[in-house]
Amino acid sequence: MNAEKRRKIFERLRQADPNPTTELNYRSPFELLIAVILSAQATDKSVNKATGQLFQLADTPEKMLALGEEGLKKVIRHIGLYNSKAKNIIQTCRILIEKHHGEVPRTRVELEALPGVGRKTANVVLNTAFGEETIAVDTHIFRVANRTRLAPGKTPLAVEKKLLKVVPKPFRRHAHHWLILLGRYTCVARKPRCGACLIEDLCEYPNKTRD
Ordered by where they begin, the domains of the chain are 3-20+134-196 (1.10.1670.10), 29-128 (1.10.340.30)
What is the torsional sign of CA 161, 167, 169, 170? negative
pTM above 0.85, yes or no: yes
What is the torsional sign of CA 181, 184, 185, 187? positive
Task: State the pLDDT confidence band at 31, using cuts at 50, 70 and 90.
Answer: very high
How far is the C-alpha of 58 from the C-alpha of 149, rounded, in Å? Answer: 43
How far is the C-alpha of 30 from the C-alpha of 129, rounded, in Å? Answer: 9
Q: List, in sequence order, every beta strand (DSSP E) within 22-163.
A: none
* Nearest Cα residue to 175 out of 6, 25, 38: 6
- The arithmetic mean of pLDDT across residues 114-143, rounded, is 95
Residues forming the active site: 120, 138
Amino acid 208: pLDDT: 75
Q: Give per-residue pLDDT as tens, 163-211.
A: 999 999 999 999 999 999 999 999 999 999 999 999 999 999 987 776 5
| Mean of pLDDT over the chain | 94
Ramachandran area for residue 42 (φ above 0: left; ψ -120 to 50: alpha; else beta):
beta
